[in-house]
């Protein structure tokens, strides 16, 4: 398969537009442009030093735009048939199959006409508010693979509902152009994509039989965020490319799109929190045996970021946080440690029983891989400020 380099335009899109969509007013001045890309821990050290000069010890989050661009490049290289979303509204997908009424005229005003549906109610809504939209039928893949977040519980029709939905859309004069699925977020098996693509083919054929010109397949998200986790993007790409060639051969001209979320951003973001409190739990047995010598059994830290801040998904038990001291303490003895967030909520706990070197109040901890589904869920519970965001980008990437 012919591989093309991402174009100048696409890379500009990912590095600048992506960053700017986070904060619509973002300009070059809001980006910390560095001569050469640094490690997250060095970005954190730099901002902590800057804050310290101002007497500030608030939690902060650093966003590494180079990482997003790098992952985008890798995606493009591994899945050349699966297009990125471009900047033109005609290439944006309104992918939530359950849309608020008022959002449909908004989409229409901005010419975002590609959208998903999965029920009769949605078809009624679309007929009323955006009749000319181009529609993808989202189905719930019938796979038994493990996913961390099963979106099928909430979205997507089942196979046997598809035909009726196609017929209903036809009767309403709507324009269905393809099929979409999401295997579930943080999907633990590449087979899920294989099963889903095969099922998509059968549903696609159904749409064609009802008389629609079916020409888009949307293979959704579900790709893992960290390179060390399996299936890796390479493993997923192998299976996806094979299945696409088998069930949607390139000669047929079906456009393949995807909606990678976690894959693009999880590793691009790190949080840094200040230790605002510490307590020791001593080993009582040792204390009795050696009268005056106490051994630290456990260290309880209170830090100023937590589940209401930049690490909001830790409590559902699926996220393993990677936490380390900002100061290099690689050689120091490790103690069983627990990290509590700053609020009054006793579930505001980032990690229990993890080995960490001893840290002092006022020191900083680095929390890695918090880019996906984290800060976007932050609240101001207990009037705690949301961590401040610092965007870093190398000069080379920013001025591509
Ligand atoms: C419709 C849709 N597309 C894409 C995504 C991104 O998924 P992921 O982060 O698993 O790649 C989500 C996440 O919930 C979603 O709901």
Q: Residues 237-279: pLDDT tens digits?
A: 999 999 999 999 999 999 999 999 999 999 999 999 999 999 9
- Does 165 fall in a domain? yes
Task: Return the ligand 1 atom nearest residue 187 CA.
Answer: 10
Number of domains in the chain: 2
Q: How confident is the model at residue 318 (pLDDT cuts 50, 70, 90)?
A: low
The answer to whether the predicted template modeling score (pTM) of the entire model surpasses 0.95 is: no
Instruction: Give residue 152's pLDDT.
Output: 84
Residue 6 Cβ inside 6 Å of ligand 1? The answer reads no
Diameter over CA atoms, the chain: 86
Residue 181 structural domain: 80-257
Last residue of a domain, one of 257, 290, 320: 257
Domain containing residue 353: CATH number: 2.40.37.10
C-beta neighbour count of 21 within 10 angstroms: 9
Find the 149 Cα to ligand 1 centroid distance in Å.
10
Instruction: With beta carbons less than 8 A apart as the criterion, state whether 69 and 11 touch.
Output: yes
Start-end of H helices in the chain: 8-12, 18-22, 40-53, 65-78, 103-109, 120-129, 159-171, 191-210, 233-247, 262-265, 284-289, 395-398
User: Do 280 and 154 sit in the same domain of this protein?
Assistant: no
Residues 152, 115: Cα–Cα separation, whole Å: 18
Residues 391, 60: Cα–Cα separation, whole Å: 11
Query: Nearest-CA neighbor of 378 among 319, 312, 313, 317?
Result: 312
User: Do 195 and 329 sit in the same domain of this protein?
Assistant: no
Instruction: With beta carbons less than 8 A apart as the criterion, state whether 257 and 219 touch.
Output: yes
- Does 1 fall in a domain? no
- Does 357 fall in a domain? yes
Q: What is the dihedral of CA 38, 40, 41, 46, to 10 degrees?
A: 60
Instruction: With beta carbons less than 8 A apart as the criterion, state whether 301 and 324 touch.
Output: no
Average pLDDT, the chain: 89
- Does 310 fall in a domain? yes
Instruction: Give residue 368's pLDDT.
Output: 95
Residue 141 Cβ inside 6 Å of ligand 1? The answer reads no
143: pLDDT strictly greater than 90: no
Find the distance separating the first CA and the last CA of the chain, reported in whole Å. 26
Residue 223 Cβ inside 6 Å of ligand 1? The answer reads yes
Q: What is the pLDDT of residues 344-365, one digit of tens each?
A: 999 999 999 999 999 999 999 9
Q: What is the pLDDT of residues 2-21, one digit of tens each?
A: 444 544 444 444 444 444 44
| % of the chain at pLDDT higher than 90 | 74
Q: Label the pairing between strands 60-64 and 269-282.
A: antiparallel
Q: What is the pLDDT of residues 119-138, one digit of tens each?
A: 999 999 999 999 999 999 99
Instruction: Give residue 328's pLDDT.
Output: 87
């Amino acid at each position: 398969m012919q591989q093309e380099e991402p174009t100048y335009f696409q890379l500009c899109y990912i590095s600048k537009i992506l960053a700017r969509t986070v904060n619509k007013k973002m300009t070059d001045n809001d980006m910390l442009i560095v001569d050469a890309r640094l490690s997250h821990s060095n970005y954190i050290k730099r901002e902590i030093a800057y804050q310290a000069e101002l007497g500030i010890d608030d939690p902060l989050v650093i966003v590494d735009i180079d990482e997003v661009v790098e992952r985008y490049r890798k995606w493009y290289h591994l899945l050349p048939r699966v297009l990125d979303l471009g900047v033109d509204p005609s290439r944006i997908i309104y992918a939530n199959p359950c849309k608020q009424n008022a959002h449909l005229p908004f989409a229409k005003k901005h010419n975002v006409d590609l959208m998903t549906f999965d029920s009769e109610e949605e078809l009624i809504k679309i007929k009323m508010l955006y009749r000319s939209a181009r529609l993808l039928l989202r189905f719930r893949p019938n796979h038994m693979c493990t996913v961390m977040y099963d979106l099928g519980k909430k979205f997507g029709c089942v196979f046997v509902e598809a035909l009726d939905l196609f017929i209903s859309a036809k009767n309403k004069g709507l324009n269905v152009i393809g099929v979409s699925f999401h295997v579930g977020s943080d999907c633990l098996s590449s087979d899920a994509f294989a099963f889903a693509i095969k099922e998509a083919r059968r549903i696609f054929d159904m749409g064609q039989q009802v008389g629609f010109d079916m020409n888009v397949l949307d293979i959704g998200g579900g790709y893992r965020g960290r390179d060390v986790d399996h299936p890796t993007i390479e493993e997923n790409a192998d299976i996806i490319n094979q299945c696409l060639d088998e069930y949607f051969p390139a000669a047929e001209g079906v456009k393949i799109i995807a909606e990678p979320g976690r894959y693009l951003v999880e590793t691009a973001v790190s949080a840094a929190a200040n230790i605002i409190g510490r307590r020791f739990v001593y080993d009582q047995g040792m204390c009795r045996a050696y009268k005056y010598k106490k051994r630290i059994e456990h260290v309880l830290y209170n830090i100023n970021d937590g589940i209401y801040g930049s690490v909001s998904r830790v409590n559902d038990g699926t996220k393993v946080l990677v936490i380390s001291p900002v100061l290099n303490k690689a050689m120091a003895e490790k103690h069983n440690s627990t990290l509590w967030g700053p609020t009054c909520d006793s579930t505001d706990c980032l990690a229990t029983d993890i080995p960490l070197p001893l840290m002092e109040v006022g020191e900083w901890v680095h929390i890695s891989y918090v880019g996906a589904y984290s800060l976007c869920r932050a609240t101001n519970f207990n009037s705690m400020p949301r961590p401040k965001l610092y965007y870093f980008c190398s000069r080379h990437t920013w001025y591509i």
